[in-house]
């Protein structure tokens, strides 16, 4: 019975019973026929960021500042000459400063691309690492601070339409996230069982070779962002009919 008492469950219940929502009041829809549709999307999208980041239970949108991610896994190469790194209980700060740069909206082709810039992302977490990073052995467990600057993100996605109760909803099929960073800073505490000398040498090494190390870390971080985009879009699009998102 408790299950039915939670707001999410009640919302889910109404949703499944055919309830539909409008866009949240802080996201202004754009007109499909607008000759400057892409500019409209960027303007309204950018305006929504400060509201969005606090989360919105009504749309089942989680809080984004800080964003909680249970686990980021980096796995490179084989067990003998590879790197196994897990960042656990991650708190990710910086999404609130996201700049929406450009949108490329192709509604007839059911394809959309969005470009974002984030000046700085700070990932504070517990970590466990074991293996080799750029041929040096590394092992440890403790607190990590991984800070990425000047992120450039392009998110592309496709969808099909799905009819529910006479309304058309976007059902996302494929998506892709491209991502590039400026500098990356690493601070892994308690490396090598707390050996100060080895630990600070390794941190210096990571920071001097940030470009190559980020290449190893990049896919995991990219995947995490991609999952977040997908979650947000899916949750909104599952509840808000297409005609409420892009007005005719």
| Binding site residues, ligand NAG, CB under 6 A | 122, 124, 145, 147, 162, 171, 185, 187, 238
Q: Which residue lies nearer to ligand NAG by CB, 206 or 228?
A: 206
Buried b (16+ CB within 10 A) or exposed e, 56-75: beebbbeebbbbebeebebe
Query: Which residues face 155 on adjacent strands?
Result: 114, 177
CA 87, CA 69: separation in Å to the nearest integer? 9
Q: Which residue lies nearer to ligand NAG by CB, 185 or 192?
A: 185
What minimum distance in Å lies between the beta carbon of 122 and ligand NAG?
Answer: 6
| Residue 47 Rama label (left phi>0; alpha psi -120 to 50; beta) | alpha
Residues 6 or more apart whose CB falls under 8 angstroms from that of 82 comprise: 75, 76, 131, 132
What minimum distance in Å lies between the beta carbon of 15 and ligand NAG?
Answer: 10
What minimum distance in Å lies between the beta carbon of 152 and ligand NAG?
Answer: 19
What minimum distance in Å lies between the beta carbon of 1 and ligand NAG?
Answer: 27
| Alpha helix (H) residue ranges in 172-209 | 196-208
Are the beta carbons of 26 and 48 closer than 8 angstroms? Answer: yes
Q: Indicate the burial class of 116 (C-beta count within 10 angstroms; 0-12, 13-18, 19 or more).
A: buried
Q: Which residue lies nearer to ligand NAG by CB, 154 or 201?
A: 201
What minimum distance in Å lies between the beta carbon of 83 and ligand NAG?
Answer: 21
Q: Which residue lies nearer to ligand NAG by CB, 40 or 129?
A: 129
What minimum distance in Å lies between the beta carbon of 195 and ligand NAG?
Answer: 21
C-alpha separations of 31 from 23, 140, 147, 158, 247 in Å: 14, 53, 38, 19, 5
Q: Which residue lies nearer to ligand NAG by CB, 165 or 171?
A: 171
Residues 6 or more apart whose CB falls under 8 angstroms from that of 184 comprise: 146, 147, 148, 149, 210, 211, 213, 214, 217
What minimum distance in Å lies between the beta carbon of 148 and ligand NAG?
Answer: 10
CA 109, CA 158: separation in Å to the nearest integer? 8
Q: Which residue lies nearer to ligand NAG by CB, 23 or 40?
A: 23
Q: Which residue lies nearer to ligand NAG by CB, 103 or 226?
A: 226
């Amino acid at each position: 019975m408790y299950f039915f008492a939670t707001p999410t469950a009640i919302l889910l219940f109404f949703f499944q019973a055919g309830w539909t929502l409008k866009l949240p009041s802080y996201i202004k829809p754009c007109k499909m026929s607008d000759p400057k549709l892409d500019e409209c999307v960027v303007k309204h999208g950018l305006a929504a960021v400060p509201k969005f980041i606090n989360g919105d239970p009504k749309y089942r949108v989680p809080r984004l500042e800080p964003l909680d991610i249970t686990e980021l896994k980096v796995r490179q190469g084989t067990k003998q000459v590879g790197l196994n790194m897990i960042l656990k209980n991650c708190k990710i700060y910086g999404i609130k400063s996201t700049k929406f740069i450009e949108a490329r909206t192709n509604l007839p082709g059911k394809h959309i691309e969005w470009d974002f810039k984030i000046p700085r992302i700070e990932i504070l977490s517990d970590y466990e690492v074991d293996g080799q990073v750029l041929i040096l052995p590394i092992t440890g467990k403790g607190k990590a601070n991984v800070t990425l600057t000047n992120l450039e993100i392009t998110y592309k996605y496709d969808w099909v339409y799905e009819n529910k109760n006479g309304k058309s909803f976007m059902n996302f099929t494929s998506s892709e996230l491209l991502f590039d960073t400026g500098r990356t800073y690493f601070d892994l505490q308690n490396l090598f069982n707390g050996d100060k000398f080895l630990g600070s040498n390794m941190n210096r090494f990571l920071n001097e070779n940030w470009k190559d190390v980020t290449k190893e870390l990049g896919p995991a971080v990219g995947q995490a962002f991609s999952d977040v985009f997908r979650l947000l879009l899916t949750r909104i699009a599952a509840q808000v009919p297409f005609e409420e998102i892009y007005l005719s």
